Amino acid sequence: MLAITLRSVTDKTIHPDACVVGVDFGTLSGRAVVVRVRDGAELGTAVHDYSHGVVDRALPVTGKALPPEWALQVPADYVDVLRTAVPQAVEAAGIAPEHVIGIGTDFTACTMVPVTADGTPLCELPEFADNPHAYVKLWRHHAAQPQADRINDLARDRKEPWLPRYGGLISSEWEFAKGLQVLEEAPEVYAAMARWVEAADWIIWQLTGQYTRNACTAGYKGILQDGAYPSEEFLAELNPAFATFVADKLDHPLSALGDRAGSLSAEAAEWTGLPQGIAVAVGNVDAHVTAPAAQAVEPGQMVAIMGTSTCHVMSGEALREVPGMCGVVDGGIIPGLWGYEAGQSGVGDIFGWFVKNQVPPAYHDEARERGLTVHEVLTERAAKQAVGEHGLIALDWHSGNRSVLVDHELSGVVLGQTLATKAEDVYRALLEATAFGTRVIVDGFTDAGVPVTELVIAGGLIKNRLLMQIYSDVTDLPLSVIGSEQGPALGSAMHAAVAAGAYEDIRGAAAAMGSVQRHVFTPIPENVDAYERLFLEYQELHDHFGRGGNDVMRRLRRFRREALEGKN
């Protein structure tokens, strides 16, 4: 049925072997996948680790130490993904490059690049190479929290109509807080920056040679609602020099998701080995592209993309104001529906931190001897426990909280430790804490009139079956699982197919190219009951530390900053 609707860009019936390339730019690496247009078969894939990774300690060129909460990236690393992972994926697929009819990408967000008028990142100019503000501010750069606090206080005072669209709080991860930080801490960089560009759009600029601004990031991270950004008066009250931020650095016509941003340039064709002139899809976000890849395009189907962080995305027919959500954007995921987003800033990152910093050598030795990862060793031991056996409860805020408290000065807690507490006990408590964090989000949506009827899991953490079972038990929902291990890259490839004209819209591409396995994990009734008790304790702690019962976490951050400043 779908083969009949497949069309090539030149309006000839498409070749049965036609392929598209999807590229997922993650936090640590970029992954390319070659996908057959007619059925979504993934024919080849390749990953390229960013050589600079996350720059959060010192600037690579100077070795200059970075303050706490900073997280930067080097944009040349993204281009390296195009040069290496894309041709390698095509080679692994064993296809002729001429069969590729389009390329689509997704990126972490809100990851921001300060650029000159022609798109050159400021950090690539010799005069700015030693200025941290000239680099890419990664989504999890949390040093703009003071600016975010001011934005929130002022927006609340002025009763700005856009604030409820973001659950009542704007995140320090987003375009305005980060932009204001640049202005206030590095006015010379702010003055030199012709545009403040989402990396999701910067990469499309590299592929096509022209700048486009995607509707998804503009709506969620750029505070664009009902066609308007925050007003000049609002911005001037924050800082008079910020009044024209929108007009000077941000504003640009919007491009809809799945549209064609342009054609692959000669230069990008040379990098990637793909044919010049093929369709390049409008930039998109890792979480949002994953929904159609998991065929979750209908209201009530929440997709949790679980990796270093978790994003929760879901479409809805009606506009509702959900307290603490990241945002709701018209057509933010699927055209014609309201796209809701929520998330947890740290998930796999918290487990990774624990493995790296808190696990005794014996566990590492065992992992090495048995050819397992330390995660697997800890999970195996933790899986033998009954719910509550470890006697612990934890808060999952090691990277702050972005729903429902939206505060990156919050931090982690593990309560109940004794001299008998083992590494696997804490590991399990951390897995559970992230599940409780998701439960708070799911309950928040349901209570606000946007019921979650199905939870679909995507992302790297699916591989941890204990974690999946805990999520099912804690939320008391069956878990469906995306069919692909490359959800975001597949979703990007699907948008490329739409941009190339192979499918009329993303729903058609989702039906033909996406896949999901329904109800792979179902709640175990006795665990559901046992977790209910623990969840009440989690909520107590959550509100105590997160809703003003005790501001000790914020004070500790301040003491830390002061101590570090005193040392320098």
Ligand X SMILES: O=C(CO)[C@@H](O)[C@@H](O)COP(=O)(O)O
Ligand Y SMILES: Nc1ncnc2c1ncn2[C@@H]1O[C@H](COP(=O)(O)OP(=O)(O)O)[C@@H](O)[C@H]1O
> In the complex, which residues of this chain contact ligand X (CB under 6 A)?
26-27, 108-109, 139, 285-287, 307-309, 311, 343
DSSP letter (8 states) at residue 134: G
Rounded Cα distance between 329 and 324, Å, is 15
User: Count H helices, E strands: the chain?
Assistant: 20, 21
Q: Is the peptide bond before 123 cis (omega within 30 degrees of 0)?
A: no
Among 119, 348, 491, 501, binds ligand Y (CB under 6 A): 348
Among 179, 307, 316, 546, binds ligand Y (CB under 6 A): 307
Among 26, 102, 262, 501, binds ligand Y (CB under 6 A): 26
Contact characters 362-401, ligand Y, x per CB under 6 A:
-----------x-xx--x----------------------
Task: Report whether 457 contacts 481 (CB < 8 A).
Answer: yes
Task: Tell me whether residue 97 or residue 488 sits nearer to ligand Y (CB atom).
Answer: 488
Of ligand X, ligand Y, none, which one does residue 261 interact with (CB within 5 to 8 Å by kind)?
none
Rounded Cα distance between 271 and 273, Å, is 6
CB of 309 to ligand X, least distance (A): 4
**Element spanning 5, H or E:** helix 2-5
CB of 6 to ligand X, least distance (A): 30
DSSP per-residue string spanning 440-463: HHHHHHHHTT----EEEEESGGGG
* Of the candidates 62, 181, 168, the residue with the CA atom closest to the CA atom of residue 123: 62
- Residue 460 near ligand Y by CB under 6 A: yes
Task: Report whether 275 contacts 97 (CB < 8 A).
Answer: yes
- Residue 91 near ligand Y by CB under 6 A: no
Near ligand Y in 440-459, by CB under 6 A: 459
CB of 282 to ligand X, least distance (A): 16
CB of 240 to ligand X, least distance (A): 31
Among 45, 145, 208, 308, binds ligand Y (CB under 6 A): 308
Task: Tell me whether residue 308 or residue 475 sits nearer to ligand Y (CB atom).
Answer: 308
Task: Tell me whether residue 84 or residue 284 sits nearer to ligand X (CB atom).
Answer: 284
- Residue 461 near ligand Y by CB under 6 A: yes
* Of the candidates 46, 108, 54, 110, the residue with the CA atom closest to the CA atom of residue 77: 54
Q: Where are the alpha helices (DSSP H) in 98-214?
A: 145-157, 175-185, 187-192, 199-208
CB of 366 to ligand X, least distance (A): 28
The owner of tokens 């909460």 is: 69
CB of 348 to ligand Y, least distance (A): 3
Task: Tell me whether residue 288 or residue 439 sits nearer to ligand X (CB atom).
Answer: 288
Of ligand X, ligand Y, none, which one does residue 461 interact with (CB within 5 to 8 Å by kind)?
ligand Y
- Residue 345 near ligand Y by CB under 6 A: no
Span of 22-30, 174-182, 313-321, 535-543 interacting with ligand Y by CB under 6 A: 22-30
Q: Which residues contact 191 (CB under 8 A, 6 or more apart)?
A: none
DSSP letter (8 states) at residue 264: -
Q: Could you tell me how many residues of this chain bind ligand Y (CB under 6 A)?
A: 19
CA distances in angstroms from 403 to 47, 303, 445, listed in the order given? 30, 15, 11
Task: Tell me whether residue 283 or residue 307 sits nearer to ligand Y (CB atom).
Answer: 307
Task: Tell me whether residue 123 or residue 378 sits nearer to ligand Y (CB atom).
Answer: 378
Task: Tell me whether residue 350 or residue 500 sits nearer to ligand X (CB atom).
Answer: 350
Task: Tell me whether residue 323 or residue 460 sits nearer to ligand Y (CB atom).
Answer: 460
Of ligand X, ligand Y, none, which one does residue 145 interact with (CB within 5 to 8 Å by kind)?
none
Of ligand X, ligand Y, none, which one does residue 208 interact with (CB within 5 to 8 Å by kind)?
none
- Residue 351 near ligand Y by CB under 6 A: yes
The owner of tokens 């080849």 is: 44
CB of 181 to ligand X, least distance (A): 18
CB of 254 to ligand X, least distance (A): 17
Of ligand Y, ligand X, none, which one does residue 245 interact with (CB within 5 to 8 Å by kind)?
none
* Of the candidates 393, 303, 385, 400, the residue with the CA atom closest to the CA atom of residue 350: 400
Of ligand Y, ligand X, none, which one does residue 119 interact with (CB within 5 to 8 Å by kind)?
none
Task: Tell me whether residue 95 or residue 433 sits nearer to ligand Y (CB atom).
Answer: 433
Q: Which residues contact 72 (CB under 8 A, 6 or more apart)?
A: 54, 55, 56, 59, 66, 132, 135, 136, 137, 138, 141
Helix (H, G, I), strand (E, B) or coil at 370: helix
- Residue 283 near ligand Y by CB under 6 A: no
* Of the candidates 423, 393, 438, the residue with the CA atom closest to the CA atom of residue 541: 393
Task: Tell me whether residue 350 or residue 502 sits nearer to ligand Y (CB atom).
Answer: 350
Rounded Cα distance between 404 and 326, Å, is 8
- Residue 463 near ligand Y by CB under 6 A: yes
- The Cβ-side half-sphere exposure at 165, using a 13 Å CA radius, reads 22
Q: Return the structure tokens found at 445.
A: 């949506």
- Residue 490 near ligand Y by CB under 6 A: no
Rounded Cα distance between 323 and 445, Å, is 8
Q: What are the two backbone dihedrals, phi and then psi, of residue 184, each rounded to the nearest 5 degrees? A: -80, -25
- The Cβ-side half-sphere exposure at 108, using a 13 Å CA radius, reads 29
Of ligand X, ligand Y, none, which one does residue 149 interact with (CB within 5 to 8 Å by kind)?
none
- Residue 28 near ligand Y by CB under 6 A: yes
CB of 103 to ligand X, least distance (A): 19
DSSP letter (8 states) at residue 248: I
CB of 184 to ligand Y, least distance (A): 30
Task: Tell me whether residue 87 or residue 460 sits nearer to ligand Y (CB atom).
Answer: 460
End-to-end CA distance of the chain: 67
Q: Which residues bind ligand Y (CB under 6 A)?
A: 26-28, 307-308, 348-349, 351-352, 373, 375-376, 379, 459-461, 463-464, 467
